[in-house]
Amino acid sequence: MDDLYREVIIEHYKHPGYRGHLDPHDVQFADSNPLCGDHIEITLRTDHQGHVADARFDGRGCAISQASADLLMEAIIGKPIEEIKQLNRQDILDMLGIDLGPVRLKCALLSLKVLKAGVYGLGEASDSLVE
């Protein structure tokens, strides 16, 4: 019906393909957006060549945050970790296929922020990871 809630977003929100938690895992990170209570945890398994063998997200929040996490997991499986480190804001917006205002952008970028903090092995997820 409208742009922001394109079918793909509602679909990934309602029926996520990559919701869950990998155990054992090689990378794990979680963070939340205190403004709206969105929360995302990501777990990854990597293979010998440094590629993502499998990826899952868990958490709660708005459709934008949860759908972007699901789309992101789908996109990174099979990709080299080095490539994941290069992902940026525009990649997420391209996946979602929408434009977002400053408030909702935070929702959309939470999963990327968590993912990058995880693959970089950082102690804390900072906004500068997704500038």
Partner 1 sequence: MLDVNEIRKDFPIFQRETKPGTRLIYLDSTATSQKPLLVIEAMDAYYRRSNANIHRGVHMLAEEATSLYEEARVKIARFINAPSAHQVIYTRNTTESINLVAYSWARANLKSGDLVILTEMEHHSNLVPWQILQAERGIELGFIPVTEDGLLDLDEYKTLLSRGPKLVSFTHMSNVLGTINPAAEIIRLAHEAGAVTLVDAAQSVPHLKVDVQALGTDFLAFSAHKMCGPTGIGVLYGKMELLEAMPPFLGGGDMIKEVKLRSFRTNALPYKFEAGTPAIAEAVGFGAAVDYLSSLGMDAIAAHEHEITEYALERLEEIPGVNVFGPSAQHKGGVAAFTLDGVHPHDVAQILDQDGIAVRAGHHCAQPLHEKFGLPATSRASFYLYNTKEEVDLLVSGIYKVKELFG
CB of 63 to partner 1, least distance (A): 5
Binding window for partner 1 (CB under 8 A); candidates: 19-27, 29-37, 76-84, 88-96: 29-37
Per CB under 8 A, contacts with partner 1 among 88-127 are 104, 107
Concatenate the DSSP letters of all residues of the chain into one string.
--STT-HHHHHHHHS-SSBS--SS-SEEEEEEETTTTEEEEEEEEE-TTSBEEEEEEEEE--HHHHHHHHHHHHHHTTSBHHHHTT--HHHHHHHHT----HHHHHHHHHHHHHHHHHHTT-SS--GGGG-
5 forms part of the interface with partner 1 (CB under 8 A):
yes
Interface with partner 1: number of residues (CB under 8 A): 18
14 forms part of the interface with partner 1 (CB under 8 A):
yes
Q: Residue 32: phi, psi to the nearest 5? A: -135, 165
CB of 5 to partner 1, least distance (A): 6
Per CB under 8 A, contacts with partner 1 among 65-84 are none
Q: Residues interacting with partner 1, by CB under 8 A?
A: 1-2, 4-5, 10, 14, 34-38, 60-64, 104, 107
